[in-house]
Amino acid sequence: MNTVSTSAEVAAEHIDAVREFNRRYTRLIGVLHEHLVDTDYSLTEARILFELAHSETADVVELRRSLDLDPGYLSRILARFAQDGLAERRRSEQDARRQQVQLTDRGRAVFADLNERSSRGVADLLAERPAADHTRLVEAMHTIEAILDGHEAPVRIREPRPGDYGWVIARNAALYAAEYGWDGSYETLVARIVTGFLESHDPHTEHAWIAESGGERLGAVFCMHEDDDTARLRLLLVEPSARGRGVGTALVRHCVEFATAAGYREMVLWTNDVLTSARHIYQRAGFELAESEPHHSFGKDLLGQTWRRALR
């Protein structure tokens, strides 16, 4: 479970990293405004125009709160907008103590031009970088938003992409070494399984999935051919940071549904009794323990378990 730190417990290097990011980001916004957008409107004024353009009528008090602006500063900007013919202010019909503001036709035309210039500026900025970096950038921005807003991005299960299979090998080796002390022979086994899958799997009867959230890989699972009637679930992996979010359950469900649709009559898996979290996932998915046998593998004495479930 994640715990919240006090400000005194935040590492100094993390504070410095966030401040440095803020400085670079602020400079970037300045470039977009001064050199690419190239208008007479400040960034704050552009934000106000954006908010007004996306509502028929805005309450001035609510506008101030949503943008976290000083009342006097906002009032001066709205007065300038009114003087330039961009906006109109009037008393609220429901409460005469409150003011409402809306853009004029001229104001909406100015916003449309500003919005087009801003989009073109960002497009020019991204065009200087490889297309693959565009997706990485957007995913990283979603991650930042999720963390700072205090909510987690949704988990999605997707097809593997180049680089994912190497990640599966690396993360299996690192996690099982850190959590259970398994030696390098486990990494060798995982590499052999993944390599065999890549070299000869039939996409109609075998498949793999990656779980991710906000562009971060959280887990993986493989469905492999055992025989014409039996599919084998292999290499279920869930990152420690993602445990408790239903990642393992979702991966196993995809595996079972695929095996059922592929025509298998049964699914089997092999695990070890020390992997208690994984066993609970298998039990909830309808698997039953079929047999147990002690063995010495990966530098440890273990109790291997075979689990099975029938498929409709």
- State the average pLDDT over residues 88-115: 88
With beta carbons less than 8 A apart as the criterion, state whether 115 and 108 touch: no
- At 95, is the pLDDT very low, low, confident or very high (cuts 50, 70, 90)? confident
Tell me which of 3.30.300.30, 3.30.365.10, 3.40.630.30, 1.10.510.10 is the CATH number of domain 156-310.
3.40.630.30
With beta carbons less than 8 A apart as the criterion, state whether 265 and 309 touch: no
- What proportion of the chain, given as a percentage, has pLDDT over 70? 93
- Pairing state of beta strands 99-103 and 156-158? unpaired
The CATH code of domain 7-128 reads 1.10.10.10
Q: Answer whether residue 23 shows pLDDT above 80.
A: no
- State the average pLDDT over residues 127-134: 83
**Domain range list for the chain:** 7-128, 156-310
Give the model confidence (pLDDT) of 166-210 as tens digits. Answer: 999 999 999 999 999 999 999 999 999 999 999 999 999 999 999
Give the model confidence (pLDDT) of 198-239 as tens digits. Answer: 999 999 999 999 999 878 899 999 999 999 999 999 999 999
Q: Cα–Cα distances in Å, from 151 out to 7, 27, 125, 213?
A: 20, 28, 29, 12
Which range, of 20-29, 79-88, 274-283, 288-297, averages the lowest pLDDT? 20-29
Q: Answer whether residue 31 shows pLDDT above 60.
A: no
Which range, of 131-135, 248-252, 268-272, averages the lowest pLDDT? 131-135
- Whole-model pTM: value is 0.58
